[in-house]
């Protein structure tokens, strides 16, 4: 038994060392081509947290301040009926996603910082609603993190659907790293899975755990602000903010522990050590991690013939470096990184439009479309 544990520890250490070596190599080989241009599609936005494209044309845009905007036919319309949003630090009106069968059922899913429930402050809530006459109607609360806290950090809050129609969403550790992420009886530092109407799936990993939060799908997360479905495997991919260094990309697996704050490749903002561990038996290693941090937000796989040289890339917004990081993957290994859409502003959201173009929500600017340059 001791020998097996020793062998596992050695393997984990070698894996972590390889990850560091690969990261260094990737940085040295990062391309810096300029084979694209851009066009600002929607102007005068402050913090466009998310974008959703409507099948009948136009897009819905969430502003962190609490505005839900319909942009259609070059006109912006403020949608009425948005719930009371607690604008608090990193919290506000956040992600928006359409039901996979939106054309048939009309459901829109939104995450926001809500004051409802126990305690002062707010916590992340997930709702669904329908849109009629530029107003949200039939609003239903599907999940609400508890308890509220006045801390203004780590709401998480990305939403995505998998191929089976389950709704995944994230809630960050809400600034309570030493309690929330590793305790499945508490909200925060988790990724959750529910049915599209809020019911808890019978096969969720902690459904039979006494006092456990039944909606939890994975735990040990810090602040996941990117989540998307892999277009080929159907797996849910996520990225999360580390502290100073240690931002991560993870493939989300049922019931797995992703380690925060027991293991991390980051340190405190002050420069002091959080932990001397970067791996531990029973905790997942990231597929990739960034040192230094890029402050990732927004995430999408590119599956579009419009950009043939970028086909299959993973796109990650960087708040810190004000760009989109285009990541090349081979067999789930990061082999190259490239900065695109640089110096326009902090990239908060990324979506692939229905026609296959890349759209980004850029703070202080608006929604930007990335265009490949034409050659003659």
Residue positions annotated with a catalytic role? 154
Two tokens at 314? Answer: 């993973």
**169 near 218, Cβ under 8 Å?**
no
Parallel/antiparallel/unpaired status of strands 224-229 and 236-240: antiparallel
54's CB contacts (< 8 A; 6+ apart) are 60, 70, 72, 98, 102
DSSP 48-82: EEEEEE-TTS-EEEEETTS-EEEEETTEEEEPB--
What does the chain come to in residues?
376
Side-chain-side CA neighbours of residue 5 (13 Å): 5
Q: How many Å apart are CA 322 and CA 336, to the nearest integer? A: 19
**241 near 215, Cβ under 8 Å?**
no
Question: Count of CB atoms within 10 A of residue 360's CB?
Answer: 29
Q: What is the H or E stretch that residue 32 is in?
A: none
Phi-psi region of 20 (alpha: psi -120 to 50; beta: other; left: phi over 0): alpha
**173 near 224, Cβ under 8 Å?**
no
Two tokens at 237? Answer: 């991919």
The number of angstroms, rounded, from the C-alpha of 21 to the middle of its chain's C-alpha atoms is: 26
58's CB contacts (< 8 A; 6+ apart) are 70, 71, 72, 73
Sign of CA dihedral 195, 115, 269, 95: positive
367 - beta bridge partners? 42, 361
Burial class (CB in 10 A: 0-12, 13-18, 19+), 176: middle
């Amino acid at each position: 038994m001791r020998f097996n544990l020793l062998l596992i520890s050695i393997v984990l250490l070698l894996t972590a060392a390889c990850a560091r070596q690969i990261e260094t190599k990737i940085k040295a080989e990062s391309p810096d081509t300029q084979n694209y241009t851009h066009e600002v599609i929607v102007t005068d936005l402050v913090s466009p947290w998310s974008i959703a494209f409507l099948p009948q044309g136009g897009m819905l845009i969430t502003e962190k301040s609490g505005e839900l905007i319909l942009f259609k036919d070059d006109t912006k319309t403020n949608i009425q009926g948005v719930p009371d949003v607690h604008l608090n630090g990193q919290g506000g009106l956040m992600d928006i996603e359409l039901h996979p069968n939106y054309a048939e059922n009309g459901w829109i899913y939104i995450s926001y910082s809500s004051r409802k429930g126990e305690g002062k402050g707010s916590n992340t809530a997930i709702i669904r609603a329908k849109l009629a006459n530029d107003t949200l109607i039939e609003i239903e609360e599907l999940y609400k993190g508890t308890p509220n806290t006045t801390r203004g950090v780590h709401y998480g809050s990305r939403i995505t659907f998998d191929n089976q129609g389950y709704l995944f969403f994230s809630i960050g550790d809400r600034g309570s790293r030493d309690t929330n992420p590793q305790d499945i009886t508490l909200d925060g530092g988790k990724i959750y899975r529910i049915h599209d109407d809020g019911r808890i799936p019978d096969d969720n990993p902690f459904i039979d755990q006494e006092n456990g939060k039944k909606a939890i799908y994975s735990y040990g997360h810090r602040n996941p602000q990117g989540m998307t479905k892999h277009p080929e495997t159907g797996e849910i991919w996520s990225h999360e903010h580390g502290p100073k260094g240690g931002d991560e990309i993870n493939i989300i697996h049922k019931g797995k522990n992703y380690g925060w704050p027991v293991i991390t490749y980051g340190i405190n903002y002050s420069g002091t050590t959080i932990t001397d561990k970067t791996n531990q038996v029973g905790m997942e290693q990231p597929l990739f991690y960034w040192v230094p941090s890029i402050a990732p937000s927004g995430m999408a796989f590119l599956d579009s013939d419009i950009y043939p040289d970028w086909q299959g890339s993973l796109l990650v917004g960087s708040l810190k470096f004000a760009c989109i990081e285009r990541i090349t993957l081979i067999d789930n290994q990061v082999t190259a990184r490239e900065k695109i859409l640089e110096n326009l502003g902090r990239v908060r959201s990324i979506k692939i439009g229905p026609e296959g173009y890349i759209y980004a929500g850029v703070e202080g600017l608006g929604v930007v479309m990335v265009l490949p340059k034409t050659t003659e």
